Structure 1
């Protein structure tokens, strides 16, 4: 009877941890939605404008996703707005230099958002659905940040990735790097996109052990924070 009651309570706790709404939940849904609709929004002015809005929303929602000090919020919001401003300026002027600067600002903004979300997730206290969603959102943002780094690498040193040369004037090129980044982060490695230079390989190696480290530390930390049946 006691075992049945404990199992029921455990199932209820698990459902409460998975189902819920919060700032990180909205960020996670936005990131998943962006991945799903990205391939359909690369051709035409209106679809690309909508894609730009989604990318801008990721930075803005990421800035507000985790509790933080007012100074931290201002810094994150300022960097996010800088990236958004550079992005839209590059889109309307077709200036590649500004687009490269936008990529740097986006990568920096995502990195700061990831750090903030992780601090919130790993902070001692009750494990909530929002924290679990934040952990997954941080993982996806990490892949996005690395895809931007790969794009900047390919732009500055053409031929860093292959086997065929990546042409950013063609639709779908950046999405390929997001796909490559996610497969690298999860150590899946299908092999359809590969690093061709030692500099690119060094970046890929860093992302690989970053993904393993992220998952290992996160699982260990969450397991330590989750109360045992005796304490509950």
Structure 2
């Protein structure tokens, strides 16, 4: 029973961890649901779960939650609409709104991590969740780019076909992490511009946000060790 209570309280205590888990689950499930209309409907449900988890996490940050709700509501409506009546024109509109929302959510989490000078457990999970939010945001930006400018992205396999959501998300993760483009490449100037912006974002995120959390973690651990030593050896030391 205590274990169940701890598991039930975990999403409340560490919402960033819950968001990260939902997004990782989405990565594993998305490849299984891109073909039929029923699978696209399930795809939309997973997207709404990620959206809801992101919205829940946003309220931990200092940014206006009401603005996040305003951004999320049209996405929810369009997701339900597309599940029953798929239309590429509505799809590109939803992708644009989702890109804006995920950029907003990522910015809110970064602001949350910069609020204090202590690296909490939830902030460490927030670092991972923010990375995935940025990857999602750029992937949706790639969807918009590909829809408005056909042929924006190519691949070694089926180079003439539009890239799937999973391929664009893969491109986003590889670009943001700096490990290389792999077999998905930007071909048109606007696509290359978006990839360059994501590369810059990934470098700055590691340099400014992750390095700061690592430094705060070391500082916090050192301070706790010093406090423990002071309690064990009061009045100037063991001698």
Match of 1:181 among 172, 178, 184: 172
Identify the residue that residue 47 of structure 1 maps to in structure 2. Answer: 39
Following superposition, the deviation at residue 95 of structure 1 comes to 2.2
Q: Where does structure 1 differ by over 4 angstroms across 4 or more consecutive aligned residues? A: none
2:162 is aligned with 1:167: yes
Identify the residue that residue 59 of structure 1 maps to in structure 2. Answer: 51
When the two chains are superposed, the root-mean-square deviation of aligned CA atoms in Å is 2.1
Q: Deviations over 1:40-85 (max 9, x none)?
A: 122334332222111011112111114246x822221221121111
Following superposition, the deviation at residue 98 of structure 1 comes to 1.5
The two structures have a TM-score, normalised by structure 2, of 0.80
Aligned length: 209
Quick check: which has more Rg, 1 or 2? 2
Identify the residue that residue 234 of structure 2 maps to in structure 1. Answer: none
Following superposition, the deviation at residue 87 of structure 1 comes to 2.2
2:106 is aligned with 1:114: yes
Identify the residue that residue 231 of structure 1 maps to in structure 2. Answer: 223
Do the aligned residues in 2 keep the contact of 1:60 with 1:77 (CA within 8 Å)?
no
Judged with a 3 Å threshold, the aligned counterparts in structure 2 of structure 1 residues 124 and 162 are, in CA distance, closer, same or farther, namely same
- Structure ranking higher on relative contact order (CA contacts 8 Å, 6+ apart): 1
CA distance in 1, matches of 2:168, 2:122: 28
| Correspondences of 1:86-101 after superposition (within 5 Å) | 86-101=78-93
Judged with a 3 Å threshold, the aligned counterparts in structure 2 of structure 1 residues 152 and 229 are, in CA distance, closer, same or farther, namely closer
Identify the residue that residue 7 of structure 1 maps to in structure 2. Answer: none
Match of 1:222 among 196, 210, 213: 213
Judged with a 3 Å threshold, the aligned counterparts in structure 2 of structure 1 residues 162 and 126 are, in CA distance, closer, same or farther, namely same
Between 1:130-139 and 1:119-128, the stretch displaced more is: 119-128
The two structures have a TM-score, normalised by structure 1, of 0.82
Identify the residue that residue 136 of structure 1 maps to in structure 2. Answer: 128
Do the aligned residues in 2 keep the contact of 1:124 with 1:225 (CA within 8 Å)?
no
